Amino acid sequence: MIFFQPYENPFYFFILFIALLPIMISILHGKKIHIYESLISLFFLFLTFGGPSWKQGIALIIYTIYETCLTFGYLYYRKQKNNQLVFYFTIFLTILPLALVKIATAIHNQKLSLLGFLGISYLTFRVVQTVMETRDGVIKQLKLSQFLPFLLFFPTISSGPIDRYRRFIKDYEQIPKQDEYLEMIKKGIHYIFIGFLYKFILAYIFGTLLLPEVQAAALAQRHNFLGISWSLLGVMYVYSADLFFDFAGYSLFAVGTSYIMGVKTPMNFNRPWQSLNIKDFWNRWHMSLSFWFRDYVYMRLLFMFMKKKTFKSRITAANITYILNMLLMGFWHGLTWYYIVYGLFHGFAIVINDAWLRFKKQHPGKLPHNRATKYLAIFLTAHVVCFSFLIFSGFLDKLWFISK
């Protein structure tokens, strides 16, 4: 039996194409065969979590049962009562497996813990979102036959994009018209081929061919003050390109496959290197994650601070919330100093960006606004982002703290 990581092997795409053919034919004939879709999902989950990864497969099964019981248990409770402490405790329990995995992974030097499996973060985001919207009264009922396909949707299980329950279920149950579905197939195939270009060509050039060379050159000059060198600048640029093309390529595979299955999974990237400022960047980069943190962390923390009048100024409350929100995102990536600094860096960058936007609003007409300033803004934003990715990469940890 052959086992694969999602979208990592050309033969994976051959099997994927064969598996998707009956789905395409059935939707074109105005039907959705959910039983077949479920069997295909189980098959691809087996390809990912079977064989050498069987321990991850067992962890996934246990996790799914645990989170499903929590979600449906809270729904049953919410129909009768709405105690805030019960809600907070339920959220704590839903996040607990992920937190334990992150802590165990940090202690054991990045080795996946016994509780962990590929994609646990993204499944946790889906469960937390579902519980929160259940508490808000937006989700009033859940069906196991819908919740499990949402939670275990195989095209996006390992690294997103992060979908929303109500949006997913609408697409999952709805059968698109033939013309609409043909357009979805066209877009899906287009996304997959762009994904091939990004992940298997450009990411290979930057990540496999160039990155080791510039890293070796930078390490050879580590005796410089803080290891600063032109080679280190090269590491910053090359790693940023590799990170984008690798992750954007994967995301396009996931979105393209979803479209062919009749589900319009949200896009993760929208020309992030054309961002005019750091806030604009987070509206374009890993959008499903940044929007999730915005809706389920930032907005709720800000509302709590404003309701309890924790801070006198709304601006202060917003700034503190920005920093806490991005710091939490940093911790989510991992319990290392460079992930935490990366989160803080972006938190303070957003605060500074907001202050600058307020200054411009208060002084209309006093600052130039033309094509040159637009390109300057894009240039500066891109370099701020690339520097943050250098921090994120962990290369500075190797450069500064790990001896030869």
Give the residue extent of every domain in the chain: 10-175, 176-269, 270-404
Residues 6+ apart with CB under 8 A from 49: 56, 57, 60, 117, 118
Q: Is cis: bond before 176, omega within 30 of 0?
A: no
- First-to-last alpha carbon distance for the chain, in angstroms, is 41
Tell me the per-residue pLDDT of 161-196, one tens digit each, with 9 for 90 and over: 999 999 999 999 999 999 999 999 999 999 999 999
For residue 5, what pLDDT is reported?
Answer: 85
For residue 10, what pLDDT is reported?
Answer: 85
Percentage helix, strand, coil for the chain under 3-state DSSP, each rounded to 5: 75, 0, 25
In the structure encoding, which two tokens stand for residue 2, read together? 């052959």
3-state secondary structure 299-338: HHHHHHHHHCCCCCCHHHHHHHHHHHHHHHHHHHHCCCHH
For residue 273, what pLDDT is reported?
Answer: 97
For residue 115, what pLDDT is reported?
Answer: 72
Contact 48, 60 (CB under 8 A): no
Instruction: Give the C-alpha separation, 388 to 254, whole Å.
Output: 26
Q: Report the phi/psi class of residue 309: left, alpha or beta, with left for phi > 0 and alpha for psi in -120 to 50.
A: left
Q: Tell me: pLDDT of 92 over 70.
A: yes
Of the ranges 76-85, 318-327, 358-367, which one carries the lowest mean pLDDT score?
A: 358-367
Instruction: Give the C-alpha separation, 284 to 286, whole Å.
Output: 7
The closest alpha carbon to 118, from 83, 152, 165, belongs to 152
Model confidence at 84, in pLDDT bands (50, 70, 90)? very high
34 included as an active-site residue = no
Tell me the per-residue pLDDT of 138-165, one tens digit each, with 9 for 90 and over: 999 999 999 999 999 999 998 889 999 9
Model confidence at 1, in pLDDT bands (50, 70, 90)? low
Model confidence at 9, in pLDDT bands (50, 70, 90)? confident
Contact 241, 206 (CB under 8 A): yes
Q: Could you give the percent of the chain with pLDDT greater than 90?
A: 83
Instruction: Give the C-alpha separation, 262 to 116, whole Å.
Output: 30
For residue 116, what pLDDT is reported?
Answer: 80
Contact 343, 329 (CB under 8 A): yes
What are the φ and ψ backbone dihedral angles of 336, each rounded to 5 degrees?
A: -125, 155
Contact 140, 80 (CB under 8 A): no
For residue 114, what pLDDT is reported?
Answer: 65
Q: Tell me: pLDDT of 259 over 60.
A: yes
In the structure encoding, which two tokens stand for residue 343, read together? 């989160």
Is the pTM higher than 0.75? The answer reads yes
Out of 333, 363, 369, 383, pick the active-site residue. Answer: 333
For residue 110, what pLDDT is reported?
Answer: 55
For residue 257, what pLDDT is reported?
Answer: 97
For residue 54, what pLDDT is reported?
Answer: 86
Tell me the per-residue pLDDT of 328-379, one tens digit each, with 9 for 90 and over: 999 999 899 999 999 999 999 999 999 999 998 888 878 888 899 999 999 9
Instruction: Give the C-alpha separation, 244 to 251, whole Å.
Output: 10
